[in-house]
A = this chain, B = another copy of it.
Amino acid sequence: MWGEPYDQPPMTGHTPLLLRALSGETTPRPPVWFMRQAGRYLPEYRALRATAPDFVSFCLDPEKAAEATLQPMRRLPFDAAIVFADILLIPRALGQDVRFEAGEGPRLGELPSLASMGLLAPKAGAALASVGETLSRVRAALEPERALIGFAGAPWTVATYMLDGQGLDDRQTARRHAYEQPALVEGVLEVLVEATVDYLAMQAAAGAQVLKIFESWADGLPEDLFHTLVIEPHRKIVEGLRARGVTTPLIGFPRGASQFAECYAEQVPVNGVALDTACPALVGERIQQAGKCIQGALDPLALRAGGPALDDQIDELVAAWESGPWIFNLGHGILPDTPIPHVEQALKRIGAG
């Protein structure tokens, strides 16, 4: 069944706001969801997380992962849920060991050979069927007017962990390899493109109505590497999904690279471009004017601050982007020490509360 497109219902008045915005419509108010809305700022998440022996098992347990996905939806009027999973499930599906050490971030085992990863790549969706099971459970429990988002890490971002063995902040190992061992990097990206297409197709078939590609480490790349390492793999993923008949709308998120966001929007056939905290208002407007939906880009630190500073930041985004297709979101994940009332304040300010 993997690769069969999820049957998108025709758009009606009951179509989720998120899908309307991604179709290019300027909605009466922007749909809203927050990156990491299922997470540590919620006490019920912390309690649930404590019931799993480790983070990878937690992500791969459909009952617990579905519960984590749904927790913020019960408490807060988000317009979309995003499946609880992790971008490092793909290396695991490709045969690389992945562990999360408490307080230390991910630790990956030795990089498997390109040949062995190449054999596993076309079966990534099947290997991660439990994420599909999570999606199906969530879709069955979620109100029809609220959308369900599936996701994957983008090839370059995932490769930085696979090549480093961990998430060192400046991705120096992977970036060094891009110059010194370009064939290796190209090979890893190729495998990841294939695995990601299969994984996302599986998610669409299992109930995801929107798919998001997270390029968390798009920053710091020279222009030619941005094309090779970010734009090209993203383009291949979208084209690969379309070639398999997957019509699900896609959002791409080249984080930390708003100087290239317009170029990305032109060259990658995604339906929406997610923008980060530091994106100039004008860049978002231009992408909207070119007919694409944008997403973003409230500073998570403004959300944590709350009060007038939060309202001011939201009002600036509204003034800049409300006249085109726009999904209201953070520019980065919600911080664990964000007070829940500040999330409520933001949702109310944008008109969803």
Chain A contacts to B: CB under 8 angstroms: 169, 172, 175-176, 178-180, 182, 219-226, 256-261, 263, 276-281, 283, 297, 299, 301-302, 304-305, 309-310, 313, 316, 331
Contacts and interface: CB of A to CB of B under 8 A. Distances in A.
A299 B283 CA distance: 25
B313 A222 contact: yes
A87 B309 CA distance: 30
A172 B301 contact: yes
Contacts of A226: 278
Nearest to A257: B278
Contacts of A278: 219-223, 226, 257, 259-260
Nearest to A181: B305
A223 to B, nearest CB: 5
A294 to B, nearest CB: 14
Given A258-B259, A259-B279, A301 B175 contact: yes
Contacts of A305: 176, 179-180
Given A180-B309, A259-B278, A305-B180, A219 B222 contact: no
Given A222-B299, A222-B316, A259-B259, 14 more contacts: A176-B301, A178-B301, A179-B304, A180-B309, A220-B276, A220-B277, A221-B278, A222-B277, A222-B302, A222-B313, A223-B316, A259-B279, A259-B280, A260-B278
